Chain A
Amino acid sequence: MTEKTIALIGNQNCGKTTLFNALTGANQYVGNWPGVTVDQVIGKISKRDWDVVDLPGLYSLSPYSAEEIVSRNFMLSNDYDVVLNVVDATHLERSLSLTLEILPMGRPMVVALNMCDLLKDKGIEIDAAKLSDELGVKVVPISASSGKGLNELLDAIDAAKASTKASSVYPQSVLGMLGDIGKLFGNETNSAEKVFIATSLLQQDKVYLEEYRGSEKLLAEVARDRSAIEREFGTDAEAYFPQARYAFIDKIMPAVTRKTSSAKASISRKIDNVVTNKWLALPIFAAIIYVIYYLAVTTVGTAATDYANDVVFGQWCTDGANWLLDQAVAPDWLRSLLVDGIIGGVGAVLGFVPQMIVLFFLLSIVEQCGYMTRVAFVLDRIFRRFGLSGRSFIPILIATGCAVPALMSTKSIDNVNEQRITLITTSFLPCSAKLPIMTMIFMSFFPEQAWIAPAVYLLGIFSIAVTGIILKKSSAFQEDVSPFVMELPDYHMPRALNVFRTTYERCKAFIIKAGTIIFGTVVIIWFLSNFNFTPDGFQMVDVSKSMLASFGTVVAFIFAPLGFGLWQAAVAVITGLLAKENVVGTMAVLLGLGSDVAEDDQGLSAALQGVFPTSVAAFAFLAFNLWSTPCVAALGAMKRQFGSGKWFGFAVSYMLCYAYCLSLVIYQIGGLILGQVPFGPFTVVAFIVLAIFLYLLLRKDHGKGTSLRIAAKNV
């Protein structure tokens, strides 16, 4: 039985995760909070038998992104006993604003004054006892990275009490209003919620105004109090609350902090003078990305992946399984299922794990040292043109490894329109599972044509840009936007434990996908492609007579206008919709070559020439596979991020439609130009599709567009 549950809350980059790791040490278990979301990480302090819930970082309790809503809802729940507010001592002024927002909720609370070891270099001294007096809660100076002050912190948590100092932040008149409004809520609303919702209603928080739309008595009281605040303080209620918090901070700062020496010029500023320099920023950025890819994809990662594919799965697993099956005198179907189906299919996916580890490891170093926010700063201007944000770059980069962790990382984009467009476009750059399809098509139809691989990546970037522009202009993507207001945190050395944990989390997502969804599809496809009803009953048959072949024959006509109307290609596309890793294997099996054929096999090349009459048809096939919906695991991650079936449905339809139209245009118009495809009715359709796309792309932006124009409307 857990004695206490502690809610860990603080700004982004305040060292919250480092403190979480230091408190929970090796005993932490990473689990999901039961219920709505999996974004809260729970750990255990075994010394005290306490649970710690690590909440996503936020600057204030007004929610701007999905991540912040998680934290806000948890703070309002009854699911914890003590608030542990982590405050960055080097940015005390701004950090205390959140502290003051939580304080009036009346929950037992402790403030951990983190990064105290860095104060000396900054030439600042903080009087923790004085600050403690002012806030009315215990303030403990700590350094999470060196573990200093943690025992004192635990003792303080044990004795934590709620602050009674809210009256020094807000005058009695305002606290009275909060109390009066609070009385109008029902009994199911707890006292922290009453204070918070009352404050939010006074500030015209849209979420709560909507929720209490029917309660006329409540809203009348709120309206009265709003005008009272305006009369008394000469400012609107919305601005009053943050102003009052900062006024309190400004008042206590001189007593609490002391400048000891003139601060050294900040190291972060010096680094930024170089990495965000007008001329150097983009070249430095390109060089860093190149190094990451060189290490992950070309050298270390590939060596390990080749080893995993050829030796671990190719020899050990296959030989081991064969030996076991020999010993057990297993039937043929079992051997076929195990060796061809499961080891071949799942092994192909797990083979990417080493590459993934290197990629995620390097990316988390770059993220945690603070460079990624500079990337967002530098690239925002470019990305905004396409309806994306500077922060969209991180997911898109991760997606070249695997779209599942990439989609999960879109949570940090606080503009909901930009997040939605990022979710749809993230998988448009080929992920590692799509590489074998590319290799297969290139080797067979475009041998020794070096331009083709860059061309595919360019087409990927083009797809992101076109989709971004089209969606940005549609009214559905012009909801009231929350802005790109972002802190550039000081650079720090990444902590090894944090880097390993992030790498582990992301790889885990990938491996779970391999173990569940891909395992499942592999078994199903194996079954469908080996069995059918025959005159002699239901039994194992040759793949060309299987259930899969029958199904493929029925749907193949859909793909005929794209140049690949044979059932084998249709089946490969369908298995690809489940997981892109399946495409090469399925193609090989259906062409009678066995599933363990490499994507650059000579025999496979020859057989493919029979499936695709022309190189442009092969390219259209590739295009459909690359730009239609990502695998089922990624779709699952996408659905969770959208948090709405409607939006998810739109995204899936858009992607399928985009891929179909793109392939159609490539095959019909590209083929016509190259003289490979004759003019026909579908050529006309392709030209119409192209015209519609150009219209959507070039039409005027009628929407309200920027947040500025929304503002003007409301004033």
Chain B
Amino acid sequence: MKTLDSLNRGESAEVVSVRGEGTSLRRRLLDMGITPKTRVTMVRAAPLGDPIELNVRGYSLTVRKSDASLVEVQ
């Protein structure tokens, strides 16, 4: 399954699930609106390649790549 950190710049995808049950990271991602069926666009990576900026529900969100890999997309 493809994960959120593997999106290329400008690429969009739909969230399938957020892994990592019981972690505060998962709670945070869900609370910030990364819920299943949400469309997420990868806007850019930081100059050193990490973290990445995403467009979710009309706002800009930054996450580290290792954290984004918890989000399965299609």
Chain A interface residues (CB < 8 Å from chain B): 59-60, 62, 64, 90-94, 97, 203-204, 235-236, 238-239, 242-243, 246-247, 268-269, 272, 276-279, 281-282, 377-378, 380-382, 384, 390, 480-489, 706-708, 710-712, 714-715
Chain B interface residues (CB < 8 Å from chain A): 18-33, 35-36, 38, 43-44, 46-51, 53, 56-64, 66-67, 69-70
Interface centre among B49, B60, B63, B70 (most CB of A within 10 A): B60
Q: Which 3 pairs between the two chains have the least Cβ-Cβ distance?
A: A711-B20, A60-B31, A242-B30
Cβ-defined contact, B23 with A707, below 8 A: yes
A486 touching B61 in the complex, CB below 8 Å, given contacts A238-B21, A243-B36, A377-B53: yes
- Find chain A residues with CB under 8 A from B47 CB: 276-279, 281-282, 378
- Find chain B residues with CB under 8 A from A235 CB: 36
- Find chain B residues with CB under 8 A from A91 CB: 57-59
Bound-state CA distance A432–B31 (Å) is 41
- Find chain B residues with CB under 8 A from A246 CB: 33, 35, 38
Cβ-defined contact, A486 with B36, below 8 A: no
- Find chain B residues with CB under 8 A from A382 CB: 48
Bound-state CA distance A9–B57 (Å) is 21
Cβ-defined contact, B21 with A715, below 8 A: yes
The distance from the CB of A65 to the nearest CB of chain B, in whole angstroms, is 11
Contact check: which of B19, B33, B48 meets A715 at CB < 8 Å?
A: B19
A380-B50, A481-B24 given. 20 additional CB < 8 A pairs? A60-B27, A62-B27, A64-B28, A93-B58, A238-B21, A243-B30, A246-B33, A272-B44, A272-B60, A276-B47, A380-B64, A381-B48, A382-B48, A485-B29, A488-B60, A488-B61, A489-B60, A707-B24, A707-B67, A708-B66
The distance from the CB of A87 to the nearest CB of chain B, in whole angstroms, is 13
Cβ-defined contact, A706 with B24, below 8 A: no
Cβ-defined contact, B67 with A485, below 8 A: yes
The A interface, classified by DSSP as helix, strand, loop or mixed, is helix
Cβ-defined contact, A708 with B62, below 8 A: no
- Find chain A residues with CB under 8 A from B18 CB: 239
- Find chain A residues with CB under 8 A from B19 CB: 711, 715
Bound-state CA distance A715–B44 (Å) is 30
Of the A-B pairs whose beta carbons lie under 8 Å apart in the complex, a sample of 26, sorted by A's number, is: A60-B31, A93-B57, A94-B32, A94-B59, A204-B22, A238-B26, A238-B30, A239-B26, A242-B30, A272-B53, A276-B47, A279-B47, A281-B47, A380-B51, A481-B25, A483-B29, A484-B63, A485-B29, A485-B67, A486-B61, A487-B62, A488-B60, A707-B67, A711-B20, A711-B22, A715-B20
Bound-state CA distance A282–B46 (Å) is 11
Cβ-defined contact, B63 with A239, below 8 A: no
In the complex, what residue of chain A is closest to B55 when comparing beta carbons? A269
Contact check: which of A281, A486, A712 meets B62 at CB < 8 Å?
A: A486
Cβ-defined contact, A381 with B33, below 8 A: no
Cβ-defined contact, B35 with A485, below 8 A: no
Cβ-defined contact, A484 with B31, below 8 A: no
Cβ-defined contact, B31 with A59, below 8 A: yes
Q: Give the number of residue pairs across the A-B interface with Cβ within 8 Å.
A: 155
Cβ-defined contact, B33 with A484, below 8 A: no
Cβ-defined contact, A97 with B31, below 8 A: yes
- Find chain B residues with CB under 8 A from A706 CB: 66
- Find chain A residues with CB under 8 A from B35 CB: 239, 242-243, 246-247
Cβ-defined contact, A381 with B49, below 8 A: yes
Bound-state CA distance A242–B22 (Å) is 14
Bound-state CA distance A483–B60 (Å) is 16
Bound-state CA distance A381–B57 (Å) is 25
Cβ-defined contact, B23 with A480, below 8 A: yes
In the complex, what residue of chain B is closest to A709 when comparing beta carbons? B66
Bound-state CA distance A92–B57 (Å) is 9
Cβ-defined contact, B69 with A59, below 8 A: no
Bound-state CA distance A239–B71 (Å) is 13
Bound-state CA distance A483–B71 (Å) is 14
Cβ-defined contact, B28 with A483, below 8 A: yes
The distance from the CB of B73 to the nearest CB of chain A, in whole angstroms, is 15
- Find chain B residues with CB under 8 A from A272 CB: 44, 53, 60
Bound-state CA distance A714–B21 (Å) is 7
In the complex, what residue of chain B is closest to A705 when comparing beta carbons? B66
Cβ-defined contact, B60 with A487, below 8 A: yes
A484 touching B51 in the complex, CB below 8 Å, given contacts A62-B24, A94-B57, A238-B27: yes
- Find chain B residues with CB under 8 A from A93 CB: 33, 57-58
Cβ-defined contact, A483 with B51, below 8 A: no
Cβ-defined contact, B21 with A708, below 8 A: no
Cβ-defined contact, A482 with B24, below 8 A: yes
Bound-state CA distance A133–B14 (Å) is 30
Bound-state CA distance A384–B27 (Å) is 22
- Find chain A residues with CB under 8 A from B29 CB: 483, 485
In the complex, what residue of chain A is closest to B18 when comparing beta carbons? A239
A483 touching B32 in the complex, CB below 8 Å, given contacts A64-B24, A381-B48, A707-B23: no
Bound-state CA distance A281–B28 (Å) is 28
Bound-state CA distance A185–B56 (Å) is 38
The distance from the CB of A418 to the nearest CB of chain B, in whole angstroms, is 12
Bound-state CA distance A566–B44 (Å) is 58
- Find chain A residues with CB under 8 A from B26 CB: 238-239, 711
The distance from the CB of B38 to the nearest CB of chain A, in whole angstroms, is 7
In the complex, what residue of chain A is closest to B49 when comparing beta carbons? A381
Contact check: which of A60, A247, A485 meets B63 at CB < 8 Å?
A: A485
- Find chain A residues with CB under 8 A from B53 CB: 272, 276, 377, 488
- Find chain B residues with CB under 8 A from A712 CB: 20
Contact check: which of A90, A268, A483 meets B67 at CB < 8 Å?
A: A483
Bound-state CA distance A276–B62 (Å) is 12
- Find chain B residues with CB under 8 A from A62 CB: 24, 27-28, 31
Contact check: which of A242, A277, A278, A482 meets B25 at CB < 8 Å?
A: A482
Cβ-defined contact, B51 with A714, below 8 A: no
The distance from the CB of A223 to the nearest CB of chain B, in whole angstroms, is 14
Cβ-defined contact, A239 with B24, below 8 A: no
- Find chain B residues with CB under 8 A from A279 CB: 47
Contact check: which of A92, A268, A482, A489 meets B28 at CB < 8 Å?
A: A482
Cβ-defined contact, B25 with A485, below 8 A: yes
Cβ-defined contact, B30 with A707, below 8 A: no
Cβ-defined contact, A485 with B32, below 8 A: yes
Bound-state CA distance A712–B23 (Å) is 10
A236 touching B64 in the complex, CB below 8 Å, given contacts A276-B46, A281-B47: no
Bound-state CA distance A90–B60 (Å) is 12
In the complex, what residue of chain B is closest to A122 when comparing beta carbons? B58
Interface centre among A203, A277, A281, A486 (most CB of B within 10 A): A486
In the complex, what residue of chain B is closest to A58 when comparing beta carbons? B31
A714 touching B22 in the complex, CB below 8 Å, given contacts A94-B32, A482-B28, A488-B61: yes
- Find chain B residues with CB under 8 A from A488 CB: 53, 60-62
